[in-house]
Structure 1
Amino acid sequence: MSKATLESLIGATAYDEHGEKIGKVKQIYLDNQTGSPTWASVTTGMLRHDSLVPLVGAEHEASDDTLKLHVDKDQVKSAPYHDGSRISAQSEQELFQHYHVDPRAAGWDTYGRQGIRPEADAPMTHGSPKHAQDSMVRSEEQLRVDTENEEVGTAHLRKYVVTEEQTIKVPVTHEEVRIEREPITGENAGRATIGEDEREVTLHADQVHVQKETVPVERVRLAVDEVADEKTVSDTVRKERIESDGVDKRPRGK
């Protein structure tokens, strides 16, 4: 850890204090007076600009290239806009208030102030660049697009009773009477008499009895699926243009 440099922080994955992933570290900003790392620019996604997060209280794990920040992810989402240039004194005060950071203890000195050295072109906070008096900053509005999950409706599951005709074929049997005749020979002939006689045969048949029974047949539930979609948003933004007039076009040295 004693050999850590600013370069080792660039590209690290930043997480908030609850372990929620924020994004990748893009730049480190140093305090002009102390040289201590104070802010980190984090890329949070394609649809959002880079956000500034305070480094005070941060924990850098070089083994898995992660940077745990002492902030909440929602704070980063609502942080004041920064265009990626040097941080002005006013902008830094707004950031201090947003993140509730004490300006007197905003430096990140985990490795010591001598342990991390910026490169020659590393950005410093609210620096005074050369020719600051004869230059101006051009600004423009940019769309900040984010998504929020909210209720759009409700679905109900109910059951009701309907009647329908159901036909079932049931196999049944019944008895029928038919006449069988056999001749009487001398050997089995009995005494014959003339007169009236009657015999009775009981007939049987299957009778169908219908009963109704309520039985469970299936379980039905509402399932919610998340479907990926795409929406196009548009709005009007303003841009500043810089033009010059009254420029002295006389050749030099005359």
Structure 2
Amino acid sequence: MKLNAQQANSLYGQDVKDRSGSKIGSVGQIWTDSSGEPTWVSVKTGLMGHKESMAPLDKARITDSGLAVDYDKATVKNAPAVDAGTEQPLDTAEIEQLYAHYRLAPQAPPTAGRGRAPSADGDLIRSEERLRVGTESQPAGTARLRKYVVTEDVHTTVPVEHDEVYVEREPIAARDARGMRADIGEAEQEMTLRAERPVVGKETVPVERVHLAKEEVVEEQPVDDQIRRERVDADIPEPSRRRR
């Protein structure tokens, strides 16, 4: 990741998170290479007193919440550390330790070319553009969980009982009539009747636990752009052209 001076200055004191989004600490110092490009950052983890763990800015991303590095929290916390607030440049031994800890291949020194034609004006440098594609985090909306009350009709049935009255008539045989008193006159008989009716009551009970959750989904998005490159053609007289 390439940072300009304004971006690098804005990171001081910002949170540093690992590849999973867990906070590691905050930005302490930023180191640049010989060309002035920021390459390393020190992280105040709060575990080593006056020491700050070093982490590479390669593949790091600037997010809304600070700086996200492409390593897990344990790797960064166990990395070689420097004194808090130091302004001393990293020496060769420190750089070698950092490359070894993060398993990075240090840049190889340029090697001399072979078979170059002598020229008073030096070599002809061919350049081309490279497409640098990265990502940035931005708000994509707000999810809300809202509870509200609705009323709905419920239809059900319940069994109810009630008494029904009917008249039973039983003839009295002559042998059973002996001893019975026979009176002629008015009389009445009462019977208490019972009937059930539906009774409706309500109770509130918990039925479900609901919460919002999120997960990160990685998808491929196409990126189309144009780049320019230079071509070099040689105009060599035929007698001087090398035969292959």
Judged with a 3 Å threshold, the aligned counterparts in structure 2 of structure 1 residues 142 and 191 are, in CA distance, closer, same or farther, namely: same
- Specify the SS of the correspondent of 1:225: coil
Rate the CA distance shift 1:162–1:251 in 2: closer, same or farther, 3 A: closer
Could you state the TM-score of these two structures normalised by the residue count of structure 1?
0.50
Q: By how many angstroms is 1:137 displaced? A: 2.4
Residue 76, structure 1, aligned to residue 58, structure 2 = yes
1:248 aligned onto 2:233: no
Structure 2 counterpart of 1:87: none
Q: Which residue of 1 aligns with 2:4?
A: none
What is the 5 A alignment of 1:1-254? 71-73=54-56, 75-77=57-59, 102=89, 106-108=91-93, 125=109, 129=113, 131=116, 133=119, 134-189=122-177, 190-245=180-235, 247-250=236-239
**For 2:58, what is the secondary structure of its paired residue?**
helix
Residues 251, 179 of structure 1: alpha-carbon distance in 2 compared, 3 angstrom cutoff = closer
Q: CA 1:236/1:101 → structure 2, altered by over 3 Å: closer, same or farther?
A: farther
The 2-side partners of 1:124 and 1:227 are apart by 37
Percent sequence identity is: 42
Cα 1:226–1:203 shift into 2, 3 Å:
same
The Cα of 1:141 is off from its aligned counterpart by 0.8
Per-residue CA deviation, residues 110-130 of structure 1 (Å, 9 max, x unaligned), is 99xxxxxxxxxxx96356656
Q: What TM-score does the superposition give when structure 2 sets the normalisation length?
A: 0.52
Deviations 1:9-37 (A, max 9, x none): xxxxxxxxx9x79xxxxxxxxxxxxxxxx
Distance 2:228 2:129 in 1: 5
- Deviation string 1:38-94 (CA, Å, 9 cap, x unpaired) is x9xxxxxxxxxxxx979xxxxxxxxxxxxxxx8523x2237xxxxxxxxxxxxxxxx
Q: What is the CA distance between 1:210 and its match in structure 2?
A: 0.8
Give the drift of 1:109.
8.8
Task: For residue 188 of structure 1, give the secondary structure of its aligned residue in structure 2.
Answer: helix
Deviations 1:98-155 (A, max 9, x none): xx884xx7434999xxxxxxxxxxx963566564755322121111122233321111
The amino acid of 1:154's aligned partner reads T
Unaligned stretches of 5+ in structure 1? 1-17, 22-38, 40-51, 55-69, 79-99, 112-122
- Structure 1 residues 248, 101: closer, same or farther in 2, change over 3 A? farther
Number of aligned residues: 156
How far is 1:206 from its partner? 1.2
Measure the CA separation in 2 of the matches of 1:109 and 1:216. Answer: 60
Mapped to 2, the partners of 1:232 and 1:136 lie a distance apart of 35
Distance 1:138 1:207, change over 3 A: same
Q: Match of 2:24?
A: none
Q: 1:140 to 1:244 in 2, by over 3 A?
A: same
